[in-house]
Each structure stands twice: as C-alpha cells, then as structure tokens.
A and B are shown apart, each in its own frame.
Chain A
Amino acid sequence: AQSVSQHNHHVILSEAASLELGCNYSYGGTVNLFWYVQYPGQHLQLLLKYFSGDPLVKGIKGFEAEFIKSKFSFNLRKPSVQWSDTAEYFCAVNPMYSGGGADGLTFGKGTHLIIQP
C-alpha cells in the first residue's frame, strides 16, 4: 500500500518568513497529489492539486507546490507567511491504477504550522 510522509510535525515561524513543508510518497506509478489545509475550528479545504502538466502548481493564498517525480516529492512553499496561515497542513496522494480506477486519498500525518506575529 502507498504511504505519505510529511517531514515535520510541528513548524514555528515568524511572520514574513519563507515556508517549505516536505511531502514524500511511496507509490511508484501515476499519482494525483493534493495539499489540504485545516484552519483552527474549520473543515479541511483544498490548497492546491497536481494531476498532470506543469509540475509547479499554484494554489490559493499564495501557496505553491512542486512535483518532482524522480524524488517522489510534492513540497509546499510560500515565500512570506502570515499569522493567518496558522493551521494544520496535510499532503495527500491518490494513486492511479492501471485499470483506470482510483482509491480514496492516502494522507500524511499532518504538519502543525504556527506563525508568530
């Protein structure tokens, strides 16, 4: 079964610092990749997704992620974080099986990001 690894469980940054959250997955075939965010007290929402094409994808609120197939990675980045970015971030993978079907998402364990004013 596929797995998703998020390198950092807790990250603390100051406002305006740059952010990079690591994500690696174990599936060797074609995948769809996602980053979800959960703000305090709110439901999970999609930040960005990669299905195919340009490996650098842009999402909401200034976030972007780069798919590097050779490294099985999909790291999330933001050049300058804000206090409102405090949240839990989840990387997720949806493998594409040869039969054309797909499965539910496999999530990483999450990264709790705290931005200090």
Chain B
Amino acid sequence: DVKVTQSSRYLVKRTGEKVFLECVQDMDHENMFWYRQDPGLGLRLIYFSYDVKMKEKGDIPEGYSVSREKKERFSLILESASTNQTSMYLCASSLGSINEQFFGPGTRLTVL
C-alpha cells in the first residue's frame, strides 16, 4: 500500500511565524502535491512537483513556498504565517502525472 505521511496532525502557530509542513511518501512516486482544504471550497492546489528540486505553482501559491530536496519528501513552507492560512493541508503523491493521487492524513494548521 502507498503510504503518505505528514509530520503533524495538528499545529498551532502565531502570526508571523515561519511554518514547515513535511510530507513523505514511501512508494518512489515522481509527483507530489500540496493542497489546502477549506469548508465549502473543496481542495485547492498550492504547489506541485514532478521531480527533485522542481516545483510548479498551483492555483493559490501566494504566501507559500515549497522544497523538494529528495524524491520522497516534499515540504510546504509558510514564510510568515497569517490567520487566513488557517486550514487543513493535504499532501498527495502519484506515480505519473496522469495517475491517481494518494493522500496523506492532513495537517490542521491554526494560525493565531
């Protein structure tokens, strides 16, 4: 079974803090994705990556950056957290760019 793990299930940070959300997949997938999930808005793509050190902006990249130094790990960075970034963050991975995505359990981030 594909396993996508995220470093924290719940995280509370203060406005202005730098926040790192980590995601690791164990199936040698090429592609990794970060989404945020908000009630009534569904999932929205923040960033994705097709290869190590490669990144592409999704639909809502503002206020976020990413890092992919190793194939299995994809980090989402909030340079200066703001209250409107309070959300559930979901990481996903897929074998190819057109294959189904496998999701992690999510990190519920609260920014005070």
From the candidates B58, B92, B98, name the one contacting A102 in the complex (CB within 8 A): B98
Residues of chain B contacted by A109 (CB below 8 angstroms) = 40-42
Q: 0/1 per residue, B80-108, Cβ < 8 Å to A?
A: 00000000001010000110111111100
Interchain CB contact under 8 A, B103 and A34 = no
A82 at the interface (CB under 8 A from B): no
CB pair A44 B103 closer than 8 Å: yes
Binds B, one of A11-19, A45-53, A67-75: A45-53
Q: How far is the CA of A42 from the CA of B104 in the complex (A)?
A: 10
Name the CB-closest residue of A to B41: A109
Decide: B40 and A104 in contact? CB cutoff 8 A.
Answer: no
Number of residues of chain A lying within 8 A (CB) of chain B: 28
Q: Are A46 and B100 in contact (CB under 8 A)?
A: yes
Cα of A84 to Cα of B110 in the assembled complex, Å: 30
Question: Once bound together, how far apart are the Cα atoms of A94 and B99, in whole Å?
Answer: 9
- What's the nearest-Cβ distance from chain A to residue B24, in Å? 14
Say yes or no: A101-B42 contact (C-beta < 8 A), given A44-B103, A45-B103: no
| Residue among B42, B45, B48 facing the most chain A CB atoms (10 A cut-off) | B42
Q: Nearest chain B CB to A116's CB is how many angstroms away? A: 22
Q: Given that A107-B42, A110-B42 are contacting pairs, would A49 and B100 also be in contact in the complex, using a CB cutoff of 8 Å?
A: yes
Measured between beta carbons, the chain A residues less than 8 angstroms from B92 are: 44
Q: A94-B98, A104-B33, A107-B43 are in contact. List 17 more A-B contacts (CB 8 A).
A: A1-B59, A4-B42, A46-B100, A90-B42, A102-B97, A102-B98, A103-B97, A104-B58, A105-B33, A105-B43, A105-B45, A105-B101, A107-B35, A107-B44, A109-B42, A110-B40, A110-B42
List 4 tightest A-B contacts by C-beta distance, closest first.
Answer: A109-B42, A104-B45, A44-B103, A102-B97
